[in-house]
Every structure is written in structure tokens, then in C-alpha cells.
């Protein structure tokens, strides 16, 4: 109690004036403190406003241009490169006309590189786009890009699902044609990474067709379907009139879907469309995931190779088609593609819709392929023959190419023997394997 009274006493004023002075002093101190903290707050607020303004202005700058930085595209210099690469360089008055201006998707890929080079060599303008994904060694794709750059072909690093990038490309260049080769390829990988097939072969295709349909003028589209659409079809040789509604893999299903999707864009928007069903393409600068390529690597490294065999011990056979023959088929398709009829997304009339097989019409069994490689490499393969697992492969392919012969003048000229010789020569020069040097000298 006593303590309490003393405390209460301390709290009571001894004289009224004193209390006023003391209270005034306390208030001044409080005001001072308050004023001081308001000042600090004011300064902080000013600082924050300045920071926000700086951030916002930087953010808006980044927003409009971040895609250029992130996706390494955009800017005046970039646009100049695109225009230069897209410009045809045929001599004035040339018999072949003014030249095409072609956007090649998947340009750093196997077929894309060869087609881009061939177009460039005959004087057409080419701009490539490729996302350099890691499905197989991206350093091979970069080496192909360097090869293209040395011939004046510029490849944009970007994804075909990036609609803004595609729109920008069509803003910069009125492409006459699109050669669409970008895709997630490979039959067996579809069981490992199905989403990548939906991303590139479905979403990517639609994104590209949207850009094409909006473009003014609309380009003619030539694109890579696949022999895999024949799926479980066993009528040989495979003709465009045969059934393609029984795919054996997700890859095949996405290619078949692509044929339906391109038909829709042809029907609604007047896009000129040519779909090419390639049959097992091989050759220099090829794809490391394909059997002829991985067999070569393993044989040279003394590693075993897995050779699949079909039911009842029947050897698998493929209609192996050499890259130069495929390139000629692609260029003939571009040259004969009729015009798209739409503008700004509106159809003005019917446009051509075509589908062609591009094969070699001479199927060869896989064991024969291995024997040819053994001969060129001068090394015996360690064969591990196993029954073909049910992972999407089909037992054989064989193309009927009458339609392409008739309408494109397509005529494959390279036998598997000759084509593999060229491939092995390239492989040994590119990878420079010591074990292969002797074989290389004997080719």
C-alpha cells in the first residue's frame, strides 16, 4: 500500500505551474520525437516513391524488351539480320523467278539444316527458328547452326509455341513459304516424355498455323508428317490412300493429328498446305538417336548394339531414304505449292491441301544395314538380337511414291550402300574417332 501511495504521490503535481512546464517539456519532446520520426517517415516515403518509380519504369522497359533478352530476339540489329537472311539472292531475270523467302522451323535439326542450305545455295532467302532442345546433343545442333551461319542463314533461338516471336517474324518479313520441320521426333522417347510431343507437335503446330493464318500475305506451308502415321497398316507399299487411323505410338498419333489440324487451317483460313510423310531419313549431320547413327558410334567404341527382331524371327525392315533425296522432295513441294488464299485470317477461296510419301521404295532389313556399316567401319559389330518390345516401333515400312513422282517429279537416287558410305565419311570426319581413321582412309 505504502509503495502504491508514494507512486501515486509522484504522479500528482506538487504545484500546477510545474506540472504545466514539465508537461509542456514532455509534449515538446514527444512532438520533437514525433516530428523527427515523421521526417524520417517522409524521407522513407520519398525514398520508396523514388524506388517504385524507378522499378516501374525499369519494369516497363524490361516488360517490353525482356522477351528479347530472355529469348535472345528483338531489336534493330536482330531485325536487320532477319531481313538480310530472308532476302532471296537470285540474279535478276533468273529463269527460276525472284526466289522464295522461307521460314524454316527446326532449322538446326537434321533435315532443317540440309533444306536450309539447299534453299540458300539456289538463291532463296531463309530464316530458321529452333529451340535447341536437349533431346539429343545440342552441340550438334549448334554446329549445324554455325554451318548455316557460314552460308548466310540466320537461325533464331526460340520456341514455335512463342506466338509473339512468330508474329514478330512475320511483321519483319513477308515470308512466301514456311517449311515446318520442328517437332519432337523419335518413337520410343514418347513413352518417357509424352508431354514434349504435345508441346512441339500439337501446341507448336497450332501456334505456327495461327501465325501463318494471321500473316498478310499468308505463306504456303510445307511440313513434315511421318511414315509412322501408317501405324498398323500392313498393306504394302504404303500409299497415301491407305488407312492412317491406327497409330502405334504417341509420336505417330501427334503426326496424324497434325494432318487433321493442318486440314482444318486449310479449310477455314485458306492456307496452302503440303504434308510430307518422310520414311526413315538418314545421312551426314544426322540424328544421334536413330539406329544407323547409334550403331556406328557403338561399333566404333566396341560396344554391343541391340538389333530388334519382329514376331516369328522376322527381321525389321525400313525404307531408308537418303537426306539429299528428301531435300529434293521438300524443295519440289515448296516450288509447286499453290498460294494460300486468305488474308488477315479470312479465307478468300479454296487453297491446295496435299499429302505425299517421300521414301526410297527399297526397304532394307536392319541386319543388312549393320553389315554395310561393319564393312565401311572395318569393325565387326557385337550384335545383341532381341525381340522387338511393344514400344511403338512397327515391323516394316515401304513407301509407294507414285503421287510424289507424278506431282513433284520426286525420284530418289541414293541406295542405302551409297548413302551410308557418305554418312560414315561424315561421321568419322566430324567426330574424328581414332579407331575410325583406318576405315575412313579406305572409304
Ligand X SMILES: NC(=O)c1ccc[n+]([C@@H]2O[C@H](COP(=O)([O-])OP(=O)(O)OC[C@H]3O[C@@H](n4cnc5c(N)ncnc54)[C@H](O)[C@@H]3O)[C@@H](O)[C@H]2O)c1
Give the contact letters, 246-285, x = binds to ligand X (CB under 6 A), - = no.
Answer: --------------------------------x-xx----
Is 200 among the residues that bind ligand X (CB under 6 A)? yes
Give the contact letters, 203-242, x = binds to ligand X (CB under 6 A), - = no.
Answer: -x-------------------x-x----------------
Is 110 among the residues that bind ligand X (CB under 6 A)? yes
Question: Which is nearer to ligand X, 182 or 401 (by Cβ)?
Answer: 182
User: Which of 120, 168, 177, 287 is close enough to bind ligand X by CB under 6 A?
Assistant: 287
Is 185 among the residues that bind ligand X (CB under 6 A)? yes
Is 329 among the residues that bind ligand X (CB under 6 A)? no
Cα gap 349→293, rounded to integer Å:
45
Cα gap 373→380, rounded to integer Å:
9
Q: Could you say which residues in the range 342-401 bind ligand X, by CB under 6 A?
A: none
Question: Cell digits for 75?
Answer: 531489336
User: Which of 86, 173, 182, 372 is close enough to bind ligand X by CB under 6 A?
Assistant: 182
Is 112 among the residues that bind ligand X (CB under 6 A)? yes
Is 159 among the residues that bind ligand X (CB under 6 A)? yes
Nearest distance in Å: CB 359, ligand X: 10
Cα gap 147→152, rounded to integer Å:
9
**Cell numbers 554455325 correspond to what residue?**
146
Question: Which is nearer to ligand X, 226 or 341 (by Cβ)?
Answer: 226
Of the residues 251, 269, 322, 376, only one is catalytic, namely 251
Nearest distance in Å: CB 106, ligand X: 3
Active site residue 251: yes
Is 131 among the residues that bind ligand X (CB under 6 A)? yes
- Residue of 281, 342, 297 lying closest to 432 (CA atoms): 297
φ, ψ dihedrals at 124, nearest 5°: -85, 160
Residues making contact with ligand X (CB under 6 A):
106, 108-112, 129-133, 141, 159-161, 181-185, 200, 204, 224, 226, 278, 280-281, 287
Q: Give me the active site residues, please.
A: 251
Amino acid at each position: 500500500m505504502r509503495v502504491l501511495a508514494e507512486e501515486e504521490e509522484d504522479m500528482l503535481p506538487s504545484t500546477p505551474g510545474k506540472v504545466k512546464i514539465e508537461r509542456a517539456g514532455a509534449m515538446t519532446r514527444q512532438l520533437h520525437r514525433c516530428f523527427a520520426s515523421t521526417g524520417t517517415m517522409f524521407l522513407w516515403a520519398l525514398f520508396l516513391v523514388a524506388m517504385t518509380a524507378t522499378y516501374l519504369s525499369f519494369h516497363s522497359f524490361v516488360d517490353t524488351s525482356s522477351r528479347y533478352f530472355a529469348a535472345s530476339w528483338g531489336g534493330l540489329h536482330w531485325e536487320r539480320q532477319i531481313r538480310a537472311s530472308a532476302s532471296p539472292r537470285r540474279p535478276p531475270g533468273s529463269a527460276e523467278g525472284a526466289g522464295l523467302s522461307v521460314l524454316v522451323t527446326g532449322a538446326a535439326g537434321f533435315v532443317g539444316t540440309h533444306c536450309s542450305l539447299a534453299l540458300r545455295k539456289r538463291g532463296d532467302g531463309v530464316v530458321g527458328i529452333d529451340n535447341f532442345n536437349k533431346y539429343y546433343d545440342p552441340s550438334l545442333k549448334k554446329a549445324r547452326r554455325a554451318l548455316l551461319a557460314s552460308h548466310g542463314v540466320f537461325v533464331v533461338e526460340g520456341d514455335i509455341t512463342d506466338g509473339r516471336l512468330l508474329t514478330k517474324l512475320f511483321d519483319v518479313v513477308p515470308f512466301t513459304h514456311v517449311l515446318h520441320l520442328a517437332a519432337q521426333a523419335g518413337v520410343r522417347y514418347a513413352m518417357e516424355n509424352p508431354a514434349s510431343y504435345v508441346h512441339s507437335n500439337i501446341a507448336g503446330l497450332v501456334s505456327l498455323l495461327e501465325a501463318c493464318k494471321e500473316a498478310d500475305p499468308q505463306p504456303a506451308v510445307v511440313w513434315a508428317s511421318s511414315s509412322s502415321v501408317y501405324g498398323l497398316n500392313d498393306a504394302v507399299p504404303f500409299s497415301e490412300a491407305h488407312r492412317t487411323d491406327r497409330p502405334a505410338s504417341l509420336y505417330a498419333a501427334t503426326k496424324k493429328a497434325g494432318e487433321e489440324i493442318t486440314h482444318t487451317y486449310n479449310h477455314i483460313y485458306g492456307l496452302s498446305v503440303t504434308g510430307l510423310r518422310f520414311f526413315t531419313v538418314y545421312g551426314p549431320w544426322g540424328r544421334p538417336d536413330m539406329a544407323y547413327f547409334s550403331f556406328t558410334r557403338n561399333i566404333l567404341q566396341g560396344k554391343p548394339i541391340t538389333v530388334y527382331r519382329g514376331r516369328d524371327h522376322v527381321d525389321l525392315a525400313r525404307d531408308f531414304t537418303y537426306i539429299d533425296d528428301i531435300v529434293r522432295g521438300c524443295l519440289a513441294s515448296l516450288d509447286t505449292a499453290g498460294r494460300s488464299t486468305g488474308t488477315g485470317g479470312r479465307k478468300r477461296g479454296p487453297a491446295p491441301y496435299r499429302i505425299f510419301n517421300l521414301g526410297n521404295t527399297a526397304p532394307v532389313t536392319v541386319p543388312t544395314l549393320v553389315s554395310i556399316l561393319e564393312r565401311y567401319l572395318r569393325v565387326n559389330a557385337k550384335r545383341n538380337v532381341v525381340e522387338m518390345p511393344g514400344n511403338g516401333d512397327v515391323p516394316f515400312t515401304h513407301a509407294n511414291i507414285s503421287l510424289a513422282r507424278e506431282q513433284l517429279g520426286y525420284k530418289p537416287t541414293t541406295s542405302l550402300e551409297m548413302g551410308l558410305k557418305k554418312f560414315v565419311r561424315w561421321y568419322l570426319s566430324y567426330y574424328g574417332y581414332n579407331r575410325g581413321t583406318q576405315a575412313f582412309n579406305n572409304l
